[in-house]
Amino acid sequence: MHLLKHFVFLAVSGAVAIAGVQSATLDTIIIGGGFSGLSAAKTLAAAGNSYLVIEARNRTGGRVENAQLPGGGYTEVGGEFFGPTQDHALNLAKELGVDLYETYNKGDNVWYLNGHRGRSNAGGLFGSVVPDIDPISLAQVVTVQYALDKMAKSINVAEPWKSAKAAEWDKMTFGAWLDERWLSKDGRAVMDAATTSIFSAEPFQLSLLYTVAYIASAGNAKNPGTFERLTSTGGGAQMYRVVGGTEILATKLADKLGHQNIALSSPVQTVEKKSDGEYSVVLRNGTAFTSKTVVVAMSPPVAGLINYDPPLPSQRTELCKLMVMGSIGKAIATYKEPFWRKAGFSGQAVSDSGTTRATFDQSL
């Protein structure tokens, strides 16, 4: 019997005055201190532009955050994995002197599928993707993934909406596309489980264009994006973790940018374009900053909470109102030792039902 030492559950959904900045006109104000906002600041700093990053929370990093465990050590309550084709993230880690280590990926993965429990080797066919299912269902899953990978090759990764079939694919949900494949019960369960693990959303909540574009973006200049790359651990998007936790990347980048250029605990109320063409960014506490340009580095639903004067184009406003972000809960259980390894398991499990849909070994 193995004693559960600690259990941490986290639900994930998504006023400062800077001396000398309020009275000056900056080149750019960046709203949002996640990796998008910090990366924009890094680019501006390299070009010699003046800027201010404004973040509503009391920390940088956005959807990456470390948490201290009650018994000592840390865990990541947000994003935690890197893949070998995620060049920008890998280069940033190298630039900041942050080390990576490989996610434990030895032994068998466990699948709970349509009421049955199975196991498959973590280093076998498709790695984390396909369980030990009947040959017909397996062939269907392989065929569907091949079709998705082929579609992804036609995507303009930088501007997916300009791809040849963008309009056609954006009219259909990924779930509807899967319906047309006439998968077996097990085959469909595999695709549904893989989709929720990747996107934190059900297939019917995703447009086909978004799904295919996301697959395409899993590659780099030398390797095309594939569905398998998104779902796999070894050689895939879950291959690496950050020594010290992913939030350390944001912390070190913020240190490099200089905290005098970052305003935390500063929710923005209004962005107003003035008659002289400059912008006034007003915080909820009334503090105002002026800049020549503004970068809104936030998800559409959160960006839509800001008042814009003049208003954003109607299509953009509707996007902010109607787009729904993926929603997932994350729980961390700690034990004295990773006992599953001695039993021949990787610690990775995926289920098509129940509260827990996916697990990983977070041990250092």
137 annotated ligand-binding residue: no
pLDDT above 60: residue 12: no
What SS3 state is found at 246?
Answer: coil
**Neighbouring C-beta atoms of residue 270, cutoff 10 Å:** 14
According to the 3-state scheme, what is the secondary structure of 81-125?
A: CECCCCHHHHHHHHHCCCCEEECCCCCEEEEEECCEEEEEECCCC
Mean pLDDT along residues 123-151: 81
Amino acid 123: pLDDT:
66
pLDDT above 60: residue 201: yes
- Rounded to the nearest integer, the mean pLDDT of the chain is 90
For residue 160, which phi and psi values (nearest 5 degrees)? -55, -30
pLDDT above 50: residue 13: no
180 annotated ligand-binding residue: no
Express each pLDDT in 40-81 by its tens digit.
999 999 999 999 999 999 999 999 999 988 878 889 999 999
Report in angstroms the alpha-carbon separations of 12 from 34, 77, 78, 136, 194.
Answer: 15, 8, 8, 37, 19
**Strand duo 25-31 + 288-296: pairing:** parallel
**Neighbouring C-beta atoms of residue 58, cutoff 10 Å:** 9
Amino acid 354: pLDDT:
86
Whole-angstrom distance, CA of residue 128 vs CA of residue 231: 6
Sequence spans of domains, the chain: 13-78+246-322, 87-244+327-359
| Residue 11's pLDDT band (cuts 50, 70, 90) | very low
Fold match between 13-78+246-322 and 87-244+327-359?
Answer: yes
Question: What's the CATH code, domain 13-78+246-322?
Answer: 3.50.50.60
Looking at residue 153, its amino acid is: K
337 annotated ligand-binding residue: no
Percentage above 90 pLDDT, the chain = 72
Spatial strand order in the sheet of 108-113: 116-121, 108-113, 345-351, 358-359
193 annotated ligand-binding residue: no
Whole-angstrom distance, CA of residue 53 vs CA of residue 41: 7
Tell me which fold the domain 87-244+327-359 belongs to: FAD/NAD(P)-binding domain (3.50.50)
pLDDT above 70: residue 316: yes
Amino acid 116: pLDDT:
85
Specify whether the CB–CB gap between 165 and 328 falls below 8 A: no
Amino acid 5: pLDDT:
54
Whole-angstrom distance, CA of residue 29 vs CA of residue 8: 36
Tokens 């940088």 label which residue? 60
Amino acid 14: pLDDT:
36
Q: What are the tokens at 254?
A: 């913020």
